[in-house]
Structure 1
Amino acid sequence: MRIPGSLPRIIGVANIAVITVAVVGLSLLPGEPRPPVRPKEAVKAGQSPAPAGSSAPSPAPSTSPVGQPPGVVATPEFARQVRANEAGLVPVLMYHRILAKRHASLDRTPDQLRKELEKLAEQGYVPITAREFAAGDIRVPAGKHPVVLTFDDGHPSHFGLDANGAPLPGTAVAVIQEVAGRHPGFRPVATFWVNREPFGLRDRASQQAAVRWLVDHGYEVANHTWGHPNLRTLRHKKVSEQIVRVERLLKKLGAPPSQTMALPYGSMPRPGKAARSGSWDGTRYDFAGVFLAGAEPSLSPYAKKFDRGAIQRIQSNGKKGECRKWCSQYWLEWLDKHPDERYVSDGDPERISIPEALRGNIVAKRGLEVIAY
């Protein structure tokens, strides 16, 4: 299973360059006001956000993965019935700022985000984190499809807490929680790759409150380097320093060690292995996955050609200009029209189910049993 030959890699590389230019321009534009966080009134562990527009917190939902009922074991007959294909393509969607009024091509409005998430829910997608995806720990119900929602730069529009400890309306997290509330099978999780001021917050107490809320509610907060430099222009030691400084910050804020990181501008350092593992000043890092700013769906983490050091993503956007064939609207429509190319879960995390014709395309990780039908 592969991306069709009509979509040559060279165009994807060109699109990364376009994304780079757009991100640079975005960084020069004025940001939204930083959301207020009052540490003394910040949410307590175990609380959940109220629906958008409401200030009263509600009981916390389970943060355990959505999946099959306990004890379900996939069989060839069952895999065939649900048309399981765990060698299929997975959309890893890339978002930047979520603004009421867009200022750059990478921006999306809360309404655009909401509509895209609604479409994903209606088409049977279930969010998982980048950490879960890179590790091949995909736990979604049988017949459903994993999707990875990723947000770069830790912008204020991604998350903030109001005075009652609930996500600020209009932020990415508030929209995700809102959509999940209307679609119970749509798991409210995403990955936020942050820099030195997570979500635009400058005081440590506010940063801790934000990061702890996200971690407690199943979201992933991970590494996007300290200062968002083009890593390709830095020496090996400086690359490691950029990564380690964020790891130390996240530890102070109560987040677990990062298992994933997103390359600023999608730019790979030289050597490329410096992005995935290394050390600086006595602190080591070793990521399960490094993510690009690419232009196509990712291969399954079970695929032989899956590269954990260069995982593809898709920019969230409509079908205009450079995005006519490279952004989320195009690819989600393409996957819907080509269901045999899409990852379909068998509902059993201990087994990998695939059509017989794809047996040679996968590698069984972690001793998982392979079912070919």
Structure 2
Amino acid sequence: MKLAAATPAAAQVKADELGQIPVLMYHRIMVKPQQSLDRSTTELYDELTRLAKDGYVPITAAQFVSGRIDVPAGKHPVVLTFDDSTPGHFGLDAQGNPKPDTAVGVIERVAHENPGFRPVATFYLNKDLFGMDELQAAAGLKWLVQHGYEVANHTMSHPDLSHLTKDQVHKEISGMEDEIVKMTGAHTTTFAYPFGVAPHKPAWAEKLDGSYAFQGIFLAGWRPSVSPFDGKFDRWAIDRVRSEGKVKEDDCKQFCSTAWLDYLDKHPDERYTSDGDPNTVTFPNVLEDRLAKPYRAWARVY
């Protein structure tokens, strides 16, 4: 089957929806970081502002794995993920607004300062929800969902799943799923492995009848994800990039967010550039062999 031709507008912006998408991984957000994985509110503000200036538009992990990537033509999707539901991620003040020194507060500020930068992110939750009591947590999760943020599953107690039995894995994930459903009325779409480590049989984490059935699972990797339309995309092992500057630790000079964003800036032909239409997948015709077969009917080439 010959692939359909791209629109002139999509060709003009050099759309490439088989390009790489950064899925950024954050842990604690603090005014003054204490540990290596922590990021300061200033560092988060600076990184998000850079993304906005570089033409990135946030989408949720759920939107990413579904393949419904709706960002303007010429822009680049980015997925912001926050693990462990710590207090620096989210909190509401007495007026019901996000506290300014939290991740959500920073995201909202950057979106306000940069029209077109969508204020959304995905929060991978453990049982201790942002340091809130049960009533606060229920109100908080509802606020997040109502404002377009994704709340997702990260197990009850953040164990290394590779050390657990099948029943223990199910209990950790289904317990957290029950908590989220109780507070939001909806099941989660995606899951992130604690420590990026899969259980003995990954299928244990993918689905449990009557409890959870994820559409994608995220690792704690060191590179941007391939496009969900790429034949190499594995929805059960999606790469993420740790948010960090070019420091020596953990090869961050090459494999953390600042280094990867620099790389994609210098190699724009390798990153995902939207055609502006979530119903089509546009890319240069020389990349046809990379397209996953289920998306051939969506494909547009130039």
Q: Distance in 2 between matches of 1:198 and 1:302?
A: 34
Counterpart in the other structure of 1:54: none
Counterpart in the other structure of 1:117: 48
CA offsets 1:262-281 (integer angstroms, 9 cap, x no match): 100000111112121124xx
Counterpart in the other structure of 1:359: 288
> Identity over aligned residues, as a percent?
50
Q: Distance in 2 between matches of 1:126 and 1:364?
A: 27
Secondary structure at the aligned position of 1:209 is classed as helix
Q: Distance in 2 between matches of 1:245 and 1:366?
A: 35
2:215 pairs with 1:285: no
2:228 pairs with 1:297: no
Mapping 1:91-130, distance limit 5 Å: 91-130=22-61
Secondary structure at the aligned position of 1:200 is classed as coil
Q: Distance in 1 between matches of 2:229 and 2:220?
A: 21
How far residue 237 of structure 1 moved from its aligned partner, in angstroms, is: 1.4
Please say if residues 280 and 298 of structure 2, whose CA atoms lie closer than 8 Å, have aligned partners that are also in contact: yes
Please say if residues 212 and 255 of structure 1, whose CA atoms lie closer than 8 Å, have aligned partners that are also in contact: no
What is the identity, as a one-letter code, of the residue corresponding to 2:290? Answer: N
Please say if residues 364 and 370 of structure 1, whose CA atoms lie closer than 8 Å, have aligned partners that are also in contact: no
Runs of 4+ with >3 A deviation: 364-368
Counterpart in the other structure of 1:350: 279
Please say if residues 280 and 299 of structure 2, whose CA atoms lie closer than 8 Å, have aligned partners that are also in contact: yes
Counterpart in the other structure of 1:15: none
Q: Distance in 1 between matches of 2:23 and 2:168?
A: 28
Q: Distance in 2 between matches of 1:81 and 1:359?
A: 19
Q: Distance in 2 between matches of 1:147 and 1:75?
A: 23
Q: Distance in 2 between matches of 1:128 and 1:341?
A: 19
Q: Distance in 2 between matches of 1:336 and 1:179?
A: 20
Superposed CA RMSD:
1.3
Please say if residues 93 and 148 of structure 1, whose CA atoms lie closer than 8 Å, have aligned partners that are also in contact: yes
Among residues 171, 188, 213, which one is paired with 2:102 in the alignment?
171
How far residue 76 of structure 1 moved from its aligned partner, in angstroms, is: 3.6
Q: How many residues align?
A: 296
Secondary structure at the aligned position of 2:226 is classed as coil
2:183 pairs with 1:253: yes
Q: Distance in 2 between matches of 1:125 and 1:333?
A: 13
Counterpart in the other structure of 1:225: 155
Among residues 270, 275, 294, which one is paired with 1:341 in the alignment?
270
Among residues 198, 213, 216, which one is paired with 2:143 in the alignment?
213
What is the identity, as a one-letter code, of the residue corresponding to 1:337? Answer: K
Task: Evaluate the alpha carbon distance shift between residue 310 and residue 101 of structure 1 in structure 2; reply closer, same or farther with a 3 A threshold.
Answer: same
Counterpart in the other structure of 1:84: 15
Normalising by structure 2, we get a TM-score of 0.95
Please say if residues 244 and 285 of structure 1, whose CA atoms lie closer than 8 Å, have aligned partners that are also in contact: yes
Task: Evaluate the alpha carbon distance shift between residue 218 and residue 255 of structure 1 in structure 2; reply closer, same or farther with a 3 A threshold.
Answer: farther
Please say if residues 21 and 226 of structure 2, whose CA atoms lie closer than 8 Å, have aligned partners that are also in contact: yes
Secondary structure at the aligned position of 1:199 is classed as coil
CA offsets 1:185-238 (integer angstroms, 9 cap, x no match): 00000000001121111x321111100000000000010001100000001111
CA offsets 1:8-29 (integer angstroms, 9 cap, x no match): xxxxxxxxxxxxxxxxxxxxxx
Deviates more, 1:336-345 or 1:269-278: 269-278
Among residues 235, 241, 250, which one is paired with 1:314 in the alignment?
241
Q: Which runs of 5+ in 1 are unaligned?
A: 1-73
Normalising by structure 1, we get a TM-score of 0.78
Please say if residues 23 and 240 of structure 2, whose CA atoms lie closer than 8 Å, have aligned partners that are also in contact: yes
Mapping 1:34-45, distance limit 5 Å: none
Counterpart in the other structure of 1:132: 63
Secondary structure at the aligned position of 2:29 is classed as coil
Counterpart in the other structure of 2:86: 155
Q: Distance in 2 between matches of 1:360 and 1:126?
A: 27
How far residue 128 of structure 1 moved from its aligned partner, in angstroms, is: 0.1
How far residue 364 of structure 1 moved from its aligned partner, in angstroms, is: 5.3
How far residue 77 of structure 1 moved from its aligned partner, in angstroms, is: 2.1
Counterpart in the other structure of 2:204: 274
Counterpart in the other structure of 1:63: none
Mapping 1:7-86, distance limit 5 Å: 75-86=6-17
How far residue 78 of structure 1 moved from its aligned partner, in angstroms, is: 2.2
How far residue 241 of structure 1 moved from its aligned partner, in angstroms, is: 1.0
Please say if residues 352 and 364 of structure 1, whose CA atoms lie closer than 8 Å, have aligned partners that are also in contact: no
Q: Distance in 2 between matches of 1:213 and 1:370?
A: 37
Please say if residues 221 and 255 of structure 1, whose CA atoms lie closer than 8 Å, have aligned partners that are also in contact: no
Please say if residues 211 and 255 of structure 1, whose CA atoms lie closer than 8 Å, have aligned partners that are also in contact: no
Task: Evaluate the alpha carbon distance shift between residue 223 and residue 255 of structure 1 in structure 2; reply closer, same or farther with a 3 A threshold.
Answer: farther
